[in-house]
Amino acid sequence: GESVGLHLPTLSVQEGDNSIINCAYSNSASDYFIWYKQESGKGPQFIIDIRSNMDKRQGQRVTVLLNKTVKHLSLQIAATQPGDSAVYFCAEDDQAGTALIFGKGTTLSVSS
């Protein structure tokens, strides 16, 4: 069946370090992937997305990498700040191509 998972449920880093959050997906037919950030008491906030015809996309301090060969997705955050502390979710579109399936999330903790 379809599933989107993460390698680690928690990640702790020091302020200023680079963070890498990983995600594995199972549906080789998925053609769209997205990362969300969720802070306590708030809804998921869109960070960055990528389509399957790309293997890398950069935003402000964030980079998403897609490896379709091993069905792996990662989010890189440069110069991590305390405000980056949150739960990060990856998601993929489902086989119908009209809805997203979310992973369980990775909690990023940034210490000063």
Partner 1 sequence: DAGVIQSPRHEVTEMGQEVTLRCKPISGHNSLFWYRQTMMRGLELLIYFNNNVPIDDSGMPEDRFSAKMPNASFSTLKIQPSEPRDSAVYFCASSFAKDNRPQHFGDGTRLSIL
Closest CB to partner 1 among 54 and 79? 54
Q: Which residues bind partner 1 (CB under 8 A)?
A: 32, 34, 36, 41-46, 49, 89, 93, 96-105
Closest CB to partner 1 among 3 and 111? 3
Query: Positive or negative CA dihedral for 8, 43, 16, 50?
Result: positive
Nearest-approach distance from CB 65 to partner 1, in angstroms: 18
Nearest-approach distance from CB 36 to partner 1, in angstroms: 8
- Which distant-in-sequence residues (6+ apart) come within 8 Å of 62 by Cβ? 35, 47, 48, 75, 76, 77, 78
Q: Which of 75, 55, 72, 54 is nearest to 63 (CA)?
A: 75
Closest CB to partner 1 among 2 and 55? 2
